[in-house]
């Protein structure tokens, strides 16, 4: 049985009044700090406002037993300028979304800047808010796949998974050891597992 949990991630942001009805992303133009440039109204179609990519379960046969399918402006151009996006997270039994910044029986938690852990086992239909910029994670502790719906208050919120940032990169092992208090053997093991170098 697949359990579905609603999980919303809200960022504190200001709202600006729109000066036009919409700003559908022009994916042919470069992306700037404020998002994509707008397509001309003549180039906009109804397809820019419809996205069907969240209806299919993701492939969870990987190292973390999880899949994240995003509906960000680069895939769903109608979101551009609206200050929101969504994602579908599929977790196989035992799957985990590692600690990052940006459910059957899913434990979700975040760690505040004073290192207080806010953790809860979520049930079907539960919603948990993760404050902007705090490290957080989800783990499926159940025996059936879990589905998490995520909402962001940005059309392109970005994602950086801490484990991959450290151990899939070329960051020198010596720096990782000093900043994480892990020994050399463990850092080398994790870099080998996740494809890092240095």
- Averaged in consecutive runs of 10 residues, what is the pLDDT profile of the chain (198 residues)? 46 47 90 87 90 90 92 91 88 88 74 86 79 85 86 81 90 92 94 90
| Contacts for 35 with CB less than 8 Å, ≥ 6 apart | 23, 25, 73, 80, 81, 155, 156
Cβ-based burial of 179 (10 A; exposed 0-12, middle 13-18, buried ≥19):
exposed
What pLDDT shows up at residue 16?
A: 43
What pTM did the predictor assign? 0.62
* Residue 73 φ/ψ region, left for φ over 0, alpha for ψ in the -120 to 50 degree band, beta for the rest: alpha
100 annotated as a binding-site residue: yes
Residue found under tokens 């940032």: 165
Is 136 annotated to bind ligand?
yes
Q: List residues bridging with 108 in a β-sheet.
A: 120, 138
Distance CA 164, CA 97 (A): 11
Give the per-residue pLDDT at 126: 78
Q: Which two tokens stand for residue 190?
A: 């994790």
Q: What is the pLDDT of residue 102?
A: 62
Which residue in 74, 100, 98 sits closest to 85, CA to CA? 74
Residue 102 marked as a ligand binder: yes
């Amino acid at each position: 049985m697949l359990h579905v949990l609603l999980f919303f991630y809200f960022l504190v942001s200001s709202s600006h009044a729109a000066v036009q009805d919409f700003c559908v992303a022009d994916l042919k133009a470069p992306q700037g700090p404020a998002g994509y440039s707008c397509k001309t109204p003549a180039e906009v179609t109804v397809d820019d406002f419809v996205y069907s990519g969240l209806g299919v379960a993701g492939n969870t046969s990987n190292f973390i037993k999880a899949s994240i399918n995003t509906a960000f402006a680069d895939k769903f151009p109608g979101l551009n300028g609206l200050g929101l996006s969504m994602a579908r997270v599929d977790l196989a039994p035992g799957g985990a979304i590692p600690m990052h910044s940006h459910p059957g029986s899913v434990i979700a938690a975040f760690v505040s800047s004073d290192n207080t852990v806010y953790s809860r086992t979520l049930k079907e239909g539960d919603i948990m808010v993760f404050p902007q910029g705090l490290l957080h994670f989800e783990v499926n502790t159940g025996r059936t796949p879990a589905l998490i719906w995520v909402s962001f208050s940005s059309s392109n919120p970005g994602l950086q998974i801490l484990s991959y940032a450290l151990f899939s990169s070329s960051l020198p092992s010596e720096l990782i050891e000093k900043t994480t208090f892990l020994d050399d053997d463990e850092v080398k093991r994790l870099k080998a597992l996740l494809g890092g170098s240095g």
